[in-house]
Amino acid sequence: MSNQCEVVGKKAAGAPLGFFERYLTLWVFLCIIAGTLLGLGLPAAAQAVGALEIAHVNIPVGLLIWVMIIPMLMKIDFSALREVYAQRASMGITLFVNWAVKPFTMALLGWLFIKHVFAPWLPAAELDSYMAGLILLGAAPCTAMVFVWSNLCNGNANFTLTQVALNDLVMVFAFAPIVALLLGVSSIPVPWDTLLLSVVMYIVIPLAIAQFIRTRLMKRGEPAFQAVLTKVQPFSIIALLATLVLLFSFQGEAIVAQPLIIAMLAVPILLQTLFIAALGYWLNRRFQVRHDVAGPSAMIGASNFFELAVAVAIVLYGFNSGAALATVVGVLIEVPVMLWLVRSVNRSRNWYNRALAAA
């Protein structure tokens, strides 16, 4: 890897958990309250915003989602892909967990809890939509926040950068087919045209824009790039929160009527997160991978690219859909659960390293 790439990797992975990210769960709760009150108090205004769409894509939300995603995708350095072979064992584990296990276990847990265990207490008309939202979450492994989790568990910066670049490359081609497959298996109609449009709008185009901006800024030097990235990063979280306010302005009535829906949707997401993290961590230990690589490898699968999941859910099923609500629940529990997993990885370092020493 070039020296420039190495410096970028260290700074990306070494960024601390910022003010917005640290209290993301609190901000999401406040957005739920604000959006719900807005929807109940000013329903006409909420409906007017929802009507601003072209080809079933809401214009305000589409713009907010680009502001949300592009700063995160600017962190991706595809030159890091040259390091894949050097980290082939853990890269293989990461790809296996992210794309051969995670989407399918999320669909299985969704089917178990949404279609069976909690079905009597959930709106029957929304069961398929809730399932679709969970499937979208399961098919979107983390892109940006993994840099933060890697830093907090003392992860290898270069590995983190490489695995994110590889994961995003795979996601461009694998996201739509996996989502379509699992929706079909779950007997949920697959809107192929809208799904492919979502991939183009919320993966391909933002990625191209982000990489164009990154390339131009890097020509002015890595410090200039980092300075701009630091300035634009808060806009990503602000755009996410604004999207959530709009989303809950449509969901407000349903949430007030059945507040336990959020808790029930959180159960399969929580179990999925814990299982995927444990599986990735154990597989890395089993294959004698260093601890500073195993940590970020486990984190990328456990965490979700929830911004993409929220965006696609809104485009496919609408603002007031169960799918959109399910993806937002993923946002709600992401930070506290991932912080607990980071602490678990750090506390188990000696246990992990004993297996390497005994080999």
Contacts of 41 (CB under 8 A, 6+ apart): none
Residue 277 lies in a domain: yes
pLDDT tens sequence across 253-278: 666 766 789 899 999 999 999 999 99
Query: Helices 157-185 & 3-13, crossing angle to 10 degrees?
Result: 70
pLDDT tens sequence across 162-216: 888 888 888 888 898 999 999 987 777 767 777 777 778 877 888 899 999 999 9
Amino acid 55: pLDDT: 61
The structure tokens listed for 23 are: 């209290």
Alpha helices, H only, 84-221: 88-95, 102-112, 127-138, 145-152, 157-185, 192-199, 205-218
Residue 193 lies in a domain: yes
Residue 102 lies in a domain: yes
Q: Is the pLDDT of residue 223 over 80?
A: yes
Residue showing tokens 């600017």: 74
pLDDT tens sequence across 70-88: 887 887 777 777 766 777 8
Q: Is the pLDDT of residue 143 over 80?
A: no
Least confident of 101-110, 302-311, 322-331: 302-311
- CA 328 to chain CA mean position, Å: 11
Q: Is the pLDDT of residue 226 over 70?
A: yes
- CA 248 to chain CA mean position, Å: 19
Query: Helices 260-286 & 127-138, crossing angle to 10 degrees?
Result: 30
CATH number at residue 99: 1.20.1530.20
Beta bridge partner(s), residue 141 = 304
Residue 210 lies in a domain: no
Amino acid 177: pLDDT: 92
Tell me what the pLDDT averaged over the chain comes to: 83
Residue 218 lies in a domain: no
Integer angstrom CA distances of residue 65 from 222, 303, 336: 26, 19, 23
Q: Which domain holds residue 184?
A: 81-200+250-357
Beta-strand ranges (E) seen in the chain are: 53-54, 57-58
Contact 73, 311 (CB under 8 A): no
pTM for the predicted model, two decimal places: 0.78
Residue 32 lies in a domain: no
Structural domain count, the chain: 1
CA dihedral 336, 112, 302, 281 (to 10 degrees): 110
Cα(271)–Cα(264) distance, integer angstroms: 12
